[in-house]
Structure 1
């Protein structure tokens, strides 16, 4: 999985001083220190990385292992920094506990979870800072830890829902991804203790579209909530309204070695940027909510360093992440700008069949000191599905641009849909890419929504979808289940099936 380490001008990595694999979640404190979690079948620990002195400090969790190996590999290891108390809260699947690390005292306290083998996963502080909420991916529950009393209250989300990661929006509503049931839960905490059924609303994409929600972030833009959800069984991030009924798919660039890019955890900053990692694509990605442009950065270690979790620093200068297969942590320096940009003449269009349709791509560049070479800037069109463009061809004229002495170049992109292109609404991504010195790629992608009428000569033209993702073959269904297990320990379908069998035996 790891055969090279290159040099990047945007990303810096650090080797973690421990031999066993097991890196998971990461967060930062007020002093720009990175805190991250490591677990094996017998031990778990919290590490602090002083980014200024570049020194690691290890805090052993202790406690007995109370769960099976598959649960340890699948769940646990998420952290959140409590500024007011100077405390690191974390989920520890190995001991089936919520952990509390008092930073000043360097002391760890474990609070047992009532449900055995719960598989605690995501964790977050409530807006009023009085409670800690977490998800139980095996226990099929979300739970609240009252900080003053250490009391844990659990709420069922339904059998085999697999609550995974969670976030609060500006209105105090809790959003939870449900990886096993293709749902996202909208939770109103104030209603849970009276009528649970009224406090939890299940949302999903319009059929026949399905997804494996993993990471989630909620941004309020112009008074409207926008939801970003990663599809961890696919190659896209969903950008939607609060109902998940009106959405577009941000398709990532194809993976070099894996069938899909498996977007994973998502975080947001205060500047209306969304960051996520591509577990199968080996990239760190950014979406600017205002411009709609997605930027992708190749991770220097590859081809599969297995990056699943990340965190934006409080100062918003760095986005930290852990690399499971490489046993490294790293950060993307968000203050280093990409010296080129992309604008598209049309972001929504109806494409006629068998007729060339032209859009303009305006590539601009700034003459500045940059780790990127502007001598060979390439244009391409990707997206539409996990398998790429279906029945649509494109031609960019010119396709390769020399931007060293040009502030702007207009490339004509011609799209043509034949009769095999599936009818309905889809998203294409116009991509502009350039190279760093070690052939690491940095790309910017602009989403273009297209609409195709049914084709008279296409036998499958009756399958007109009002969604973007086509019904998938069995191989893709297998990939969906693999993705969740691979995210934690690369044990694949075996882990998932073992957990499912264990739950059936218990019932």
Structure 2
């Protein structure tokens, strides 16, 4: 195996420099000349010095809400990452800090962890991609050793396939697609197609270079015609959305004597909007539109291939207890949508890394539900009030992957050593009704707008804070008549919220989204207003 000299999570240090999480990681990592104290435990925690174990190993205590249940992984400090379910509803996930895959049985609520004898002692790797194949194999990527792994659930054996490394490679997301496996090489700037019947080091791949030089190739998705959609971008410099005619390319190659053909003959390129800087997650919805998650903002986007237009959406702001802000360093908290998928109801699901949420957006009703994950690690937020004692219930669980199984959304908590599940069938405690779904303004104009927050819970009082978020600086939504931003919602008394929506004099003509709604302690409910500026 080829070992690359990187620390766990170097991805954040290089790609997400503005992230508070990355700042904490870099500030707390010991220098090469330090000799940190190491207490040998005989567990994966031994991969970290004592002073970093609370940061990476977490509390190992599972929590729950009315909507989310967490489960503690028996082995300490495994750093669970990529996750998928099989056809029987079992949950499979890869462990950054052990090289193992593990299974969770939701019926018996038991874990089985499968030791990987091929994994080097003390090895660590971010495993971003995983999928379950019809033959009972679990496939996953491994960025440290430039590998693609196969674990047979039938004979419980591992097989390592070397990934084609040409300079700086990072095999990331992975999807089993019929008789092939598709992988995006994030820093190698290519898509790779693999025949899963191969094994060992002598593996043949078909690699498709991306059309934008010196960029990264992020997550991908397939549409109904087998076209592959993915993004190329430069960190905080924007990029393009790419449509690759996979069938056309492969058919042409097979009918010619060439091993490859010019890529530009089989792609379409769409310029990303300037507001979309770091599109990591991508998915094709049931209606053929593409959804992208922007990890350096609170935005997610929809692209319609017919009109070739992007629509920008926004999440609610992260709760204060996710980032703490004891020093006041966080001036504008952002939620960082990361990966994005669609469920069998046509809803869009994504994880927001720094909001500690799993979010479910319904394009038909233009509504969003944001489920707040109860576990938090204070070492990943500004949670120290200056006394050296971390604040309770502050920080992030670092939820880096999820998978959808019917009404359940399973996810991993990378620094809390838990997996968890959102049950989207549980009745929500409140609802939001809009006066109207649309509004038209001229630059410099403003209009009053009402919405109603209605209780559905039997609790006598429900603590509520309002959500008032816009996608553009020149478009604002504000409370009027001295209305409070937070209040107690009576179970028998809906609350009418009076706002004013205004466009500044320099507002650009176009169609935009505003999010209004209500945040309870464990869940938020919002509705999108479509605002047209003439």
Q: Shorter-chain TM-score: what band?
A: 0.7 to 0.9
Aligned to 2:69: 12
**Aligned partner of residue 292 in structure 2, secondary structure:** strand
Q: Please, which of 149, 152, 158 is the counterpart of residue 108 of structure 1?
A: 158
Q: Does structure 1 retain, via aligned residues, the 8 Å contact 2:433–2:451?
A: yes
- Deviation per CA, 1:275-300: give whole Å up to 9, x if none: 11110111110001211101111110
Aligned pairs, number? 426
Alignment of 1:175 with 2:229, yes or no, is yes
Alignment of 1:326 with 2:416, yes or no, is yes
Structure 2: runs of 5 or more not aligned: 1-54, 254-260, 324-329, 377-394
Larger displacement relative to structure 2 (344-353 or 138-147): 344-353
Alignment of 1:215 with 2:273, yes or no, is no
Q: Does structure 2 retain, via aligned residues, the 8 Å contact 1:178–1:214?
A: no
- TM-superposed CA distance for 1:361, in Å, is 1.3
Q: Please, which of 341, 345, 354 is the counterpart of residue 267 of structure 1?
A: 341
Alignment of 1:234 with 2:326, yes or no, is no
- Deviation per CA, 1:412-468: give whole Å up to 9, x if none: 33224455767765422112233xxxxx23111212233457xxxxxxxxxxxxxxx
Q: Return the structure number with greater relative CO, CA threshold 8 A, min gap 6.
A: 1
Aligned to 1:165: 219
**RMSD (CA atoms):** 3.0
Q: Please, which of 363, 369, 372 is the counterpart of residue 295 of structure 1?
A: 369
Alignment of 1:361 with 2:451, yes or no, is yes
**Aligned partner of residue 192 in structure 1, secondary structure:** helix
Alignment of 1:152 with 2:218, yes or no, is no
- TM-superposed CA distance for 1:5, in Å, is 7.2
Distance 1:353 1:118, change over 3 A: closer
Distance 1:232 1:422, change over 3 A: same
- Deviation per CA, 1:323-362: give whole Å up to 9, x if none: 1121211110122121422232333323356655122314
Distance 1:53 1:164, change over 3 A: same
Write 1 or 2 for the structure with the bigger share of strand: 1
Aligned to 1:310: 402
Length-normalised TM-score, structure 1: 0.76
**Aligned partner of residue 280 in structure 1, secondary structure:** helix
- TM-superposed CA distance for 1:152, in Å, is 1.8
**Aligned partner of residue 190 in structure 1, secondary structure:** helix
Alignment of 1:50 with 2:50, yes or no, is no
Pairwise mapping of residues 78-157 of structure 1 onto structure 2 (< 5 A)? 78-82=129-133, 84-116=134-166, 118-126=169-177, 129-149=178-198, 151-157=204-210
**Aligned partner of residue 185 in structure 1, secondary structure:** strand
Length-normalised TM-score, structure 2: 0.72
Distance 1:354 1:189, change over 3 A: closer
Aligned to 2:6: none
Q: Distance in 2 between matches of 1:338 and 1:59?
A: 38
Q: Does structure 2 retain, via aligned residues, the 8 Å contact 1:176–1:186?
A: yes
Q: Does structure 2 retain, via aligned residues, the 8 Å contact 1:38–1:77?
A: no
Aligned to 1:500: none
Aligned to 1:202: 269
Structure 1: runs of 5 or more not aligned: 435-439, 454-507
Distance 1:375 1:330, change over 3 A: closer
- TM-superposed CA distance for 1:376, in Å, is 4.3
Distance 1:397 1:174, change over 3 A: farther
Q: Distance in 1 between matches of 2:313 and 2:239?
A: 18
Pairwise mapping of residues 266-415 of structure 1 onto structure 2 (< 5 A)? 266-302=340-376, 303-313=395-405, 316-352=406-442, 356-366=446-456, 375-385=462-472, 393-395=478-480, 400=487, 402-406=489-493, 409-415=495-501
Pairwise mapping of residues 492-503 of structure 1 onto structure 2 (< 5 A)? none
Q: Distance in 2 between matches of 1:284 and 1:265?
A: 10
**Aligned partner of residue 70 in structure 2, secondary structure:** strand
- TM-superposed CA distance for 1:405, in Å, is 1.7
Q: Does structure 2 retain, via aligned residues, the 8 Å contact 1:391–1:420?
A: no
Aligned to 2:309: 246
Q: Distance in 1 between matches of 2:185 and 2:408?
A: 29
